[in-house]
Chains A and B, each alone.
Chain A
C-alpha cells in the first residue's frame, strides 16, 4: 500500500507530456468518449457520424505557422461521395516567407512552458512568486523597493498629490466612515485635497465609555502628520460641548484635553464629531492641521451613538470658499457674488480693492423663494444656480391702511434680499483678490407705466426683479469654459393706486433669473498656406540680361 501511494503521488507530481504530433491533436474534441458535432479530427467519431457532418470546424491543424517547413494535418469533408466521408491528409506545409524560422536552438521558443506542479518542497516558493496580485520574476527586489519607499528621507520634503492618503507617524489619518453597513470603520484614510464628510454609528456602553478609544479626543489627535521635514501636530481648534438635551456651547479654552468619564451614569466628553482643517501650500506640503471637536454626553440607555466626521483642505493665504467651477462655471453650481468693501475706490491698487467674501450664504447670488404671502416671508432665499433659469414669486395683499414708502422698501428687501451683492464672479474660481475677474451688477429701474403721469410723487412699488446673466463660452473649442460677462438686475415698479378703505388687492410679485448664452460662434484658425518662394539667381539670364 505504501509503494502504491508513492507511485500515485509520483504520477500526480508530473504533468502529462504535451502532445506535439499534429495527427493526434484535435482542438474541437471536447466531449470525452463521445463524438463532437462537425469535429472532423475527433477520434471518437465513426464513419457514420462523419456522414452526418455539414462542414469541418477545424480544417487544418499545424504547429507554429512561422516555421519554414512543418507537418500539417488537413481534414475535409468529401460531400460528393455517397455517403459523405471525411478525408484526412498529412502534408508538408512550406512557409514562403524569407523570415521563416529555419531552426531553433531554444526549446521553449515554440512551446508553452509546462507549469511546475506544486509539491510540499516548492510550495512556499511558488506561493511567493504567484500568490500575490501580480506575478514578479524576482520577488526579493520587489520587497526591497517597498522598504525604501516607507523609510522617509529626511532631506526630501513630503509632497502630497490629490487622493494620496495623508500619512501619520503610525499609519494614516483616519476618518471613520461607514463601510458596507452604517457602523463606523476606523480604517478609512483621509485623502489629500479630498473634502469628505461622513456619518457613522458606533456601538457604546456607558460603563466602558472611558475604555472605548474612539470616544476619546486623544484617538484623533495623538499621531502627528508626516509632512515636510518636520511633523505637523494636530492642534485642537475648538471644543463644542453638547448636553444631553442637545444644546451646544462653545468652550472658551480649547487647550484642555478632555477624556471621557462616567459621571452619574452618564458618560461625558465623548466625541460626537470631529472636523479636521488641514492647511497646505500650493506645492502640496501640509503645514498645519487643526481639529474641531464636538463632545457630548451619552446616557445610560444609549447603545449606539452617531458620530460625524469632516475634513477640509485649505490652501494657505486663501479664503476657504467653495468653487463653482474651475475655471468656467459648472451648470448647477451657485453663482458667486460679493461686495466691494466700503471706502475702497475702484479700480485702485489690487491690494486694497479686494472684495469681501464672508461665509457661504452671503457670497452667493440669491433669489426670493416662492411663498404665499410676501410679507410673511421669513427671508428664505434660494441660491442662483448657474445655467438654471428660475422664476419665483409671492403674493402681496395690499390693504388701504398700508403706507406706500415703507411698503416699497419692504418689497425691495423681499425681492433683493438683505445683502444684494454688487459684483459677480466671472469665472467659477475667481479669487477675491483679483478685482478684474469680477463683473459689476448693473441695476436698472423700469417703471411699468411708461406713459407717465405727471405726478411723479405718486409712489412706485417694485413688483418684479429680473436678473439677466449673460455668459459666453471662453477658451478652446474642445473644452469651452463658461464665463459670465454681464449681469443686469432690472427692477420694475408700478404705481400704487390708493384703495378705498376696506378693500384689498392682491398683486403678484415675481423675481426671475435668466441665463443667456451670448457666445459668438467659434472661429477656426487656419495656418497660413505655405508660400512657394522661387527666385531665380541674379545672373540667371546672363548674358541676355
Chain B
C-alpha cells in the first residue's frame, strides 16, 4: 500500500501531474513530508496541499474490519497448527497460530531444531492425520536440517503412515529446504516468497536460525548495528505471514548476559546491582536484542535446569505463563507433564542452561 502510485489514486489530473513533475511518485514519498514542505515543493497553496494529502491518505489507508468479522474469519479458516503436544496446544489455544511470528529461543543443543523438524512434518501431513496438507519452506542457515532424522521422527510418531509405500517420499517431497549464505540472499528469497506462498500452497515457513544470519555479517558490531541487517526483513516477514495466513516459526540463539544488559528504568533507582550479579553467572539472554523481542508475537523459551528441559510460553497474547518439562526421543519432542507448571512473575523470561555441559559434571 505504501508503494501505491499517486497517478492511480483518482486525484484531479492537474494535481497528479504536479506530483509526478516533482518526482513524488508513490504514497510513501508524499506522506513522509509535512504539509508545509509539500506546499513548498509543489508550489500550491495550503488548502490544496491539505486536500491532496487527505485524498492520498484515504487511498492508502487499508480498509477496516470489525472485531467480530475478524473472529468469524478466524473461525472459518482455522487458526492454528497443532503441535500434537497436548499441553502446549492447550496453552496456545490450538497450537502455533497462523499469521503470526513464533520464536523458539534456547541454548544450543536443547531441541529447537528437533521441534522445527517435527513441525515441518506435521504441516506436510494430510489433513486426516491432523496436518495442513501443504508445502513447507525450511530456511536452514546453520545446516542443521537432517532429512534422515526427519524420516526417523516420522516413523516414530506416525508409524502407520510412514509404512505406506511412497508416502514418506511424498511427505519429504513437500518440504523445501533452502540454505542462504548471506543476508542479501535471505532478503531476496523473502521477496520472492510472497508469490511462492500463494501459488504453491505453502502452509508453514521455518527459519532456523535467524540469529546466525546476523552474526555472519557483523561479528563485532554493537547492538544497534546488529539490528540494521534485519530491519527490512522483519516487518516483511510479518506482513507476508499475515497476508498468506501461514505460521512463521523462527529460531533464535542465546548469548550470555553482559553488564550492559539492563532491566530497570530510571525511576526504579539503583536496585539493579544486587540482582545483576546473581543473574550474570547462570543466566543467558536471547540474542538480537529487545527490539526483536518486541516484534515476535509468541516466544517459546527452551531451557534446562534441575536436571530437566523445559519449554516455557514466555510471551503470548492468549496464554498464561507455563512451563512444560520435555525430552527429545526418536519420535521427536515429547512432553513429560501435560498440565504444565505455572511460572509467576518475570521468571518466565529467564533462560537457564544448567546441567547441559558434560565437562562440568
A and B interact: no
Interface residues of B (CB under 8 A from A): none
Interface residues of A (CB under 8 A from B): none
